[in-house]
Structure 1
Amino acid sequence: MMLRDASVDDVETLFDIRCSVTENHQSRDELAGLGITVESVGEMVASGDYVTTIAEIGGQPVGFSMAQISEGYVFACFVRPGCHGQGVGGALMAAAEEGLRRAGVKEAWLSTGEEERFRAPGFYRHLGWVDSGHLEDGQIRFTKRLSW
């Protein structure tokens, strides 16, 4: 597996990966309804306020993470369904955390659905993230101290 920084040229790949997942699946139309479009994500990547990493196996993109520096917020971490259990998600989260840490973020946060069928809450707990309440939309809020 190889990790690399994403560029604006990778935005279609990010959407392809995001829309391929089966847990927490959202279509391009659903994402657009939330204001998440190719244009908005391109602006996010270009802004310099996001650490955006792509994981590749055999030269093929299989996952990505995005973390917003100014908010200390892990915005996304998605892995293609056929690539689970290979350490891709953990590597992407480590890259997001390290990017935030290098930028001076002391504590990061993220949110995810709480449905029992979702593996994400257990995955984040396994990586040392701590439950810290719920957001207004019912998602679990997790935090992690990045520096001591």
Structure 2
Amino acid sequence: MSLQKTSITFSPGRAGDTPAYIALRGKTRQNAIGQERLAELGITAESWAEMIESGNLPGQVCHQDGQLIGYCFGDRESGEIVVLALLPEAEGLGIGKALLDRVMAELSAAGHARLFLGCSSDPQSRSYGFYRHLGWKSTGETDQYGDEVLEYLFT
């Protein structure tokens, strides 16, 4: 069996690709949210595309051999990391961290000294340890979805 080289690329999120982002969101290992549930929350391909086009939702995407495998988007106005999603086969390769780092840098450049996000409070959840390992700290608060609010302070 020969090992094939794969091509991993990162690029800014594009409004025209929002249907693919929604499809991927329903395929994540933990906290998968399908298209219908996203729509109930007011998140559609159209609303997501409008936010990207407005410049308020900067994001980074990752493709492996041309296929979307993950993305991260943040809110330019509030400093919230809105979503970080990866296909299960992309976990453990450093892609999530790379996507998060890119969006964090963009939000920092936009003037944010503090970023925040909602994260599962279950220590068994992958996201629980992932963010804490990267320096995110609990605020002791929960968001409207019952997730723990974590913050990152740039020093």
Give the TM-score, by structure 1 length: 0.93
**Structure 1 segments unaligned to the other structure (5+ residues):** none
Number of equivalences: 147
Structure 2 counterpart of 1:3, which letter? F
**Any idea what SS the aligned residue of 2:58 has?**
strand
Residue 116 of structure 1, CA deviation: 3.9
2:70 equivalent among 63, 66, 84: 63
Q: Please say if residues 65 and 96 of structure 1, whose CA atoms lie closer than 8 Å, have aligned partners that are also in contact.
A: yes
Structure of larger gyration radius: 2
**Structure 2 segments unaligned to the other structure (5+ residues):** 1-7
Runs of 4+ in structure 1 off by over 3 angstroms are: none
**Any idea what SS the aligned residue of 1:20 has?**
coil
Match of residue 125 from structure 2: 118
**Any idea what SS the aligned residue of 2:31 has?**
coil
User: What is the percentage of aligned positions where both structures have the same residue?
Assistant: 27
Residue 86 of structure 1, CA deviation: 0.7
Cα deviation, 1:45-85, whole Å, max 9, x if unaligned, reads 11101211101122221100000010000000000011111
Cα deviation, 1:81-129, whole Å, max 9, x if unaligned, reads 1111111100011011001011111110001122343110110011111
Structure 1 position 107 matched with structure 2 position 114: yes
Give distance in 2, aligned partners of 1:116 and 1:122: 7
Match of residue 28 from structure 1: 35
Give the TM-score, by structure 2 length: 0.89
Give distance in 2, aligned partners of 1:122 and 1:73: 19
Structure 1 counterpart of 2:68, which letter? P
Cα deviation, 1:13-56, whole Å, max 9, x if unaligned, reads 21121111120011111111111111111111111012111011
1:90 equivalent among 90, 94, 97: 97
Match of residue 151 from structure 2: 143
Structure 1 position 39 matched with structure 2 position 50: no
Give distance in 2, aligned partners of 1:73 and 1:54: 17
Q: CA RMSD in A?
A: 1.3
Q: Please say if residues 24 and 118 of structure 1, whose CA atoms lie closer than 8 Å, have aligned partners that are also in contact.
A: no
2:80 equivalent among 63, 73, 84: 73
